[in-house]
Structure 1
């Protein structure tokens, strides 16, 4: 697609490339007339199919089925298109043509992917890849690698996505296929959008755009425009974002590309929402919704439902917002899109909170947080960088080996002094490679640390909201909460209220000599009851609770430029309640994933907001 959805969105691949075409009597290939009016187009295909059926020309009949889906899928709809492709698959399986079978699986992949049937799409891609690898169809295998990467992007597995992206890019560079290299770069750019590395995203997608222009691929150019528009949304340059989206729409309309049009309408709606123009946002989102409903695009429907839910929430129409948001979560479950589901759950928690359903709000927020934590894996983030580095290192090694072999050949013709020069050259190459590897490794580590720091700062922002919600829950009736039989609900509520005040307002955790006994004494209870309450309400031990508060306090101080830049780490550790710098370093790294010094170096003061735009994918 247009990878037009990001967090909270759906991925919409582009139309598939014409892998096959009907053969004319002279053996030449004809792709059919894409510019025919809809009625004439359908009549042309139907007459061709009837003729081939009468002649029992099954090979070309299978091709005709595929061509009909490629050029008239908007008129056919999902079910009819799926039926025709399965008829083509049945014929090709009977004929035993592996290339035709593989290409039919590819077409089924495109159709399923475009309509949000992700599990089916994955199965079709795997079947196609099995044939490509078995028969050594190098280029076809690389194209399928790119398609599989789109599936992993949709599922939030960016490590796997880039693994397949760089596998495909390596093949396309070996065979010098500019068009397919552009598509691989585009997909790599999508991964970096998801990882919020917008500089790298713009670099890769910009290169893809230029390559599409060079080979005259207007639809690829349109996809690039859409995804560059997404980057400008994240950079808050809404004017440039709209300009890219509207230019992409013009191209999509020229090619009658409904998937591209709907993806861009979704993104345009998002821009107007960000600008506070809710009427225009609703207008474009409803236009996208109509297209998604027409073609049964589940991912697209869920994406628009979520965005409309946000608008309705802002307008105070909470029950309608609840309905749309609930529908989006159900669909994201079906389409196996955990990243989008996480954003929908976060929105659902907001709606429940505004409706006064505080227990539901807390439960939903926790579910969203758990899902987010399961998706974020710092080891995976580092591995993504290692995949790119491995690819770069292999290219450097191959280029330098070629240079060395060329030099060896020349050295046979020159004297001993030239041999010495060759030795110097090889030494310089080895030194350059070593320096490149060291630089890349340091860069990988720094980017990984930035991931951890950003995650911690984002969690800090959410913490206060969760605390406020919990306070409201504490005011619910005793029947609304489960309590242990050893302490009455009234006693528990009183202790919790006092504990909240001591932690949030008095910051008692900053006392380095604080113990559970001293805290229990301040709360007019005993150690056993206090430990029980902390375990039930926070899901953790006393020591972990206090240390977590201390680390979060330290992170707040360190991230404040007026404090972190003026005071030493030792001073901030003591102000946060730690009695030694060594203990502070150990506990800080345990809860945040990095040491305090690394945290300071990698602080990003930009606003941390979830991504919720529609990426534009390409079918390869």
Structure 2
């Protein structure tokens, strides 16, 4: 923290002493502290647009000094951009270690802030640093990371940067097949700025041809890229890239004079515009070319300048620092991922344990339910079998009654004859009727003899068997006595002595028989409800009817009807 404060103070003093100040810009220490990160970022962007790189870098650095763990993800986006932009300034000034450090810092902030769509920019810049140090394999891996990450956001401008770098790094690695593949992918991109695409189409195509040992074609396209750059882009760094590759192409075909010419052009342009990496590369090429031509003095002069410049920018110790920073970053990232995976594994194990408990409870519940259902099914099956047996018995009883009825019809003439005799033998005295359903003792004073009883019984059976009078709601003992030309006392006596039941039980038996017939008669009564059939045989109360029906048959009317309809 102390080092940060000292660094910030030095930077502010530098800004105060060296940056241009006008009436509109207040760059005092107090005013800078009052600026919000957004205001600082806007000022940094303005300085950068005005080519005041040092001032822009200072403001980006002040923004980064305010970063802490309490920053929201939305605020983190500004800090990630500041780190990247400050890194780019370091990169173009030749401070590759500083640039790498800032890119890594930006990557950490972007990851923490979930600013994934910006991460391809940081991966591209990290790849550029490794490519500068000619570690093309790692550089390529960063470009490929950027390409894969950008697929979900489909930003064609970012894709163009990535694919262009991949074409070049594949050429440097002599992988022309992949270079061609990436070059073709560029042609399908829809870009807003077509100027750079036109340049890099020529440059990349020339590079591919040279790598594929088609030097003449390669030189042709590389020269076209130089002309296009001078006419439309006017960027010394871009032009130097083409010039240095033309020189290499001429060296490949042993045209040393042409190679020397283009290396000199690159050297002069890079020296004039302080393009340091191109200056170093051109000095190395000039030293080699002069040596091959036998001009040792010029070769040594170029080599001396090359070593001086190279040590200031590309010394091996700095490159090792970069690799160490990258290793530490990857290690930290891996450790964080391992910690996260361990935490997820613990959560998953706990969740699995809870799920196992739930599954065990569910399985136990299902087992109990299954056992209950099996028992219920067996009981239901037994009950169904019992109901079916009762239904069959009722059906057999009905058939027996039908047979009995047919036999009874044959003796109908005899019944009529007996009825006539009954009238002749009827006692003249007026017997006072008294309704009662007690046992046989009350009939001891009755004047009916056995023959009269038999005749009266036949008449009663005729009414009950051959007519449907009992189906009337108002059917009673008196009504039956009237139908058989007798009195209620004698009728009750005959029923009690013959069937050992009172009149109500006697009439219920006939009514239930008729209900069974109608329930079995699906052709005529299938559309009737149970209640309607009960009312049709003389029952007023449906609930009372159900109880009586079950008492006589053993099953409910609805169950009987269901079986009859099968």
* Structure 1 length-normalised TM: 0.44
- How high is the TM-score relative to the length of structure 2? 0.47
Looking at CA atoms only, which structure, 1 or 2, has the larger radius of gyration? Answer: 2
Higher relative contact order (CA 8 A, sep 6+): 1
